[in-house]
Amino acid sequence: MWWKETVIYQIYPRSFQDSNGDGIGDLEGIRQRLPYLKDLGVGAIWLSPFYKSPMKDFGYDVADYCDVDPIFGTLEDFDRLLREAHALGLKVLIDLVPNHTSDQHPWFLESRSSRDNPKRDWYIWKDPGPDGGPPNNWQSFFGGPAWTLDEHTGQYYLHQFLPEQPDLNWRNPAVREAIYEAMRFWLRRGVDGFRVDVLWLLAEDLLFRDEPGNPDWRPGMWDRGRHLHLFTEDQPETYAYVREMRYVLDEFSQPGQERVMVGEIYLPYPQLVRYYQAGCHLPFNFHLIFRGLTDWRPENIARIVEEYESLLTPWDWPNWVLGNHDQPRLASRLGEAQARVAAMLLFTLRGTPTWYYGDELALPNGEIPPNRIQDPAALRQKGRLGEHGLPPGRDPERTPMPWDTSPYAGFSTVEPWLPLNPDWPVRNAAAQEKDPKSMLHLVKHLLRLRQDPDLLHGRYRTHQAANGLYAYFRGEGFLIALNFTDREKALDLPQEGRVVLSTHLDREEAVGNTLRLRPDEGVVVRLG
C-alpha cells in the first residue's frame, strides 16, 4: 500500500513559492517546484488549506469547501498541479477542515439569520447562562471563552478556535453529508486523500457540562490549559464520524490506489490508537514533538517509540512527525547538528514519516518583528514569550522557503508576506544543492536508503538507550546508532557490519564489534 512506503511532505502554500508577484505563495508556484520535490525523494505532498477564505486563520476558516481562494489561484491551477504531480509519481493529500467553517460561509450566514432558519442546527447554539454570560466554561484554543453572543438572535454559538470559526454541529446528519459531498468533490478530481484537521474535536458533550479545573495549571500558562477537556475532546461519537469518512474514501479506493485519511489528533497513545480501529489510516503521532523534542534523551525517545509499538495491532501502521505549521522549527529546538540526528531517527523508524517544508535545509524559526506579526494566536498575546523562549504564535515556522540567492530568495519578486530568515543568502536550496555535506543532501540520502525493504517493513527492536546513545535494529539487516551528545561515544555491535550512511556525510567503512560515534553523529550500519 503506497501510504505505508511513502514520505509525506507538508507544504504551507503561502510560504512555498509565489508565481505572480504578490508576495504570497500559490498553487502555480507549488507546481513549478514539483521537480525539486521529486528529486528530494518524497512520495506524497500534503497541501495546507487553499480554500476560499477570509483568511482570519489563513485558510482554516473555510468559506467554500469546493473552490480555491483567488490568492492561491483557481480550480484549473489545482487540476494542473494535481495532474503534473501524478505524472511525476507524487501523491497529493489536501487539508480537510470539517470541525468549523468561516463565519462568512453561506451555511453560517443562514444559520445566524434567525432561530427558525433551517440551517440553525448546522451549528451549535445555546441560550446564555443564568448570569447572561456564556453557557458554560469551555475555552477557545486561541484564548478566552469558546462562545460568542450573537446579539441579533440572543444566543451564543460555539467556536473552539476564533470567533470567526464557528463549530459545525456534527450530530446533524445533514452537516455530515455536506462535508462528505465536499470530500467527494475533491476525490472526483483525483486527490489521493485528506489530512483531516482537529479530527479529535468533532463532537462535544451532549449535556454541555462545565469542564473540571486542571490542578496543574498555573497563571501565565496557556489559557485553555486551566481546564481538563473531558467534554470537548475525543467524545465517543467521534469514532462513528471517522468511520463514515472512511466509507467515503473507500468509495473511490482501488487496490494500489487507496484514498487515505491522515488525522490530526493530539491525544495520549491509548486514546490515539483507537482511531486506527475507527478507520483512520494514519492518526498523526505527535509524541516525538511533544514528549521527545522537549526531553531529547535516548531513554525518553526509546520509551516513546516502544510504548507506541506495543499498542499497535498487526493491522495498524505507525507514523511519525517532527514538525508542522503549528510547532517551532526542528533546527530551532535542537540545533542543526542534532536536527540531522533527528532526521535520521525519523526516516529510519518503522512507519510513515511526515516532513515539514524547509526542514531539509535546517531552517530555523524566522525572526518576526512586532509590526510584521500575522498569526491571530500571536496577535492575541503580544508581549509574551512562548514555549522555548521563542516569540509566541506560529509565524516563525511559516516563513518563506529560500530557494536561491536572487532577490527575495527566489520565493517572490516582491517583499514576502512574512520576512525571510536572515541567513537566506547562505541557507537556501541552491546553496545546499552544491554542498555535498549539507542537510539537504543528508535528507536525500536518507530517503533513498529508506527504500530498502528492511527499513520500510522490518521489525523495530531497541539495542541500547542509555549514556547518550540510542541504537535500534530494523529487520535483520540494519542497526541505527544515534549520538545525542557532543562527546565521542562507543557502542558494542552484535556482529560486524558496514557504515552505509553518517549524518556527517563523510563516512562509509567496515566496522567490527565496536562502533565509534563522533559528537552529534548518527550512522546507519548494514549488518553482516
Per-position DSSP letters for 376-429, written without gaps between them: HHHHTTTT---GGGPPSSSGGGGPPPP-SSSGGGGT-SS--SSPPPTTTTTSSH
Locate 427 and state its grid cell.
Answer: 541557507
Strand-pairing partners, residue 283, are 263
Locate 5 and state its grid cell.
Answer: 512506503
Question: What angle (nearest 5°) sits at the alpha carbon of residue 307, between those of residues 487 and 514?
Answer: 35
* CA-based torsion, 259, 263, 264, 268: positive or negative: negative
Among 39, 250, 251, 492, which one carries the catalytic annotation? 251
Q: Would you say how long the chain is, in residues?
A: 528
CA distance 434 to 414: 26
Question: What angle (nearest 5°) sits at the alpha carbon of residue 22, between those of residues 354 and 47?
Answer: 20
Question: Residue 518 CB: number of other CB atoms within 10 A?
Answer: 16
Among 197, 316, 395, 452, which one carries the catalytic annotation? 197
Whether residue 5 contacts residue 391, with contact meaning beta carbons closer than 8 Å, is answered with: no
Per-position DSSP letters for 236-272, written without gaps between them: THHHHHHHHHHHHHHHT-BTTB--EEEE-----HHHH
CA distance 274 to 270: 7
Locate 312 and state its grid cell.
Answer: 499497535
Q: Is 395 a catalytic residue?
A: no
Question: What angle (nearest 5°) sits at the alpha carbon of residue 304, between those of residues 301 and 309?
Answer: 125
Q: Is 127 a catalytic residue?
A: no
Instruction: Tell me which residues are annotated as active site.
Output: 197, 251
